[in-house]
């Protein structure tokens, strides 16, 4: 098998100032199973970065490692210029207020209403009057494209698309600078997925959000992503605009972006 060139490089000091996330030399493993080894990645401020890769390449693992839910064996992670490994407890809490996360399947608390779910991060970080908490929750629910009457409903009362939006409202609760989305359109019908993509793009532009978006949805890559990072061989194979990624010389990339579904999405 011929070696495949790895099309990635670490940013210069001037480029680093423009990056919301910088990952350097990351190694993650579970026992003897190494998921990432020597992984480098940078996410520019204000961009929507799509992260793709084959099954088992560790897309969700990478997201969870960046936000601190997994501990890497080696490497460094910087978010908004802060080395995450060197933060004190109070600094870590302050740093976590700067990002929001939409996990796979939403991960809403089933025993709480939508409004109460949105209020969870607010209550964790701030001591606010009940009336203000209610107002903020309603604001985020509306921002996520849900009707106000969804505030008093439980997750079981919502459709799949509405649950995704409720989870997005919770991710926006703390007015984050960075938004992490893990398979946000999975399980949605094409119309619902397109509407969610449009919402993410609009929020990114209007709020100046940096979006780290794990997906396998080709339509999402085509519609909203500024750049696409491809995971493979335990690292980032390429991190570039989609127009460049589709021509990258790697078997998985060519199969993924050269198939009939890619052509249907308008990717050439």
Confidence class for position 6, pLDDT limits 50, 70, 90: very low
Q: Which helix (H) or strand (E) holds 221?
A: helix 218-224
Contacts of 56 (CB under 8 A, 6+ apart): none
Place of tokens 């600094």: 91
Choose from 11-15, 105-109, 111-115, 158-162 the range with maximum mean pLDDT.
111-115
pLDDT value at residue 3: 41
Confidence class for position 35, pLDDT limits 50, 70, 90: very high
Proportion of the chain in helix, strand, coil states, percent, rounded to 5: 40, 25, 35
Distance between CA atoms of 216 and 51, rounded to whole angstroms? 8
pLDDT digits (tens, 9 = 90+) for 227-243: 999 999 999 999 999 99
Adjacent-strand bridge partners of 29: 34
**209 three-state secondary structure:** coil
pLDDT value at residue 154: 96
pLDDT value at residue 93: 80
Strand-strand pairing, 48-53 and 227-232: parallel
Confidence class for position 91, pLDDT limits 50, 70, 90: confident
Statement: the pTM of the whole predicted model exceeds 0.85? yes
Contacts of 211 (CB under 8 A, 6+ apart): 47, 48, 49, 178, 179, 180, 181, 200, 204
pLDDT digits (tens, 9 = 90+) for 197-215: 999 999 999 999 999 999 9
Distance between CA atoms of 19 and 112, rounded to whole angstroms? 36
Are residues 210 and 44 in contact, defined by beta-carbon separation less than 8 angstroms?
A: yes
pLDDT value at residue 11: 44
pLDDT digits (tens, 9 = 90+) for 37-47: 999 999 999 99
Confidence class for position 106, pLDDT limits 50, 70, 90: confident
pLDDT digits (tens, 9 = 90+) for 46-63: 999 999 999 889 999 999
Domains of the chain: 1-98+177-268 (3.40.50.300), 106-175 (no CATH)
In this prediction, residues 241-267 reach a mean pLDDT of 82
């Amino acid at each position: 098998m011929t070696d495949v060139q790895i099309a990635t490089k670490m940013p210069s000091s001037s480029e680093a100032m423009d990056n919301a996330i910088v990952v350097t030399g990351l190694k993650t493993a579970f026992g003897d199973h190494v998921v990432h080894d020597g992984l480098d990645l940078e996410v520019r401020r204000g961009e929507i970065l799509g992260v793709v890769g084959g099954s088992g390449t560790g897309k969700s693992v990478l997201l969870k490692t960046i936000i601190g839910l997994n501990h890497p064996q080696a490497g460094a992670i910087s978010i908004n210029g802060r080395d995450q490994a060197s933060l004190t407890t109070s600094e870590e809490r302050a740093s976590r207020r700067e990002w929001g996360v939409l996990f796979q399947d939403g991960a809403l608390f089933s025993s709480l209403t939508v409004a109460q779910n949105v209020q969870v991060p607010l209550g964790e970080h701030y001591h606010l009057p009940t009336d203000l908490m209610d107002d903020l929750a309603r604001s985020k629910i509306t921002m996520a494209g849900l009707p106000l009457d969804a505030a008093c409903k439980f997750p079981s009362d919502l459709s799949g698309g509405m649950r995704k939006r409720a989870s997005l409202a919770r991710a926006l609760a703390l007015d984050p600078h960075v938004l992490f989305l893990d398979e946000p359109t999975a399980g949605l019908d094409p119309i619902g997925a397109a509407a969610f993509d449009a919402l993410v793009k609009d929020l990114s532009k209007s709020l100046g959000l940096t979006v780290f978006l794990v997906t396998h949805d080709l339509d999402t890559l085509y519609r909203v992503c500024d750049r696409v990072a491809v995971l493979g061989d335990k690292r980032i194979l390429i991190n570039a605009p989609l127009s460049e990624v589709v021509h990258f010389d790697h078997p998985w990339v060519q199969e993924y972006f050269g198939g009939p579904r890619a052509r249907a999405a308008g990717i050439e």
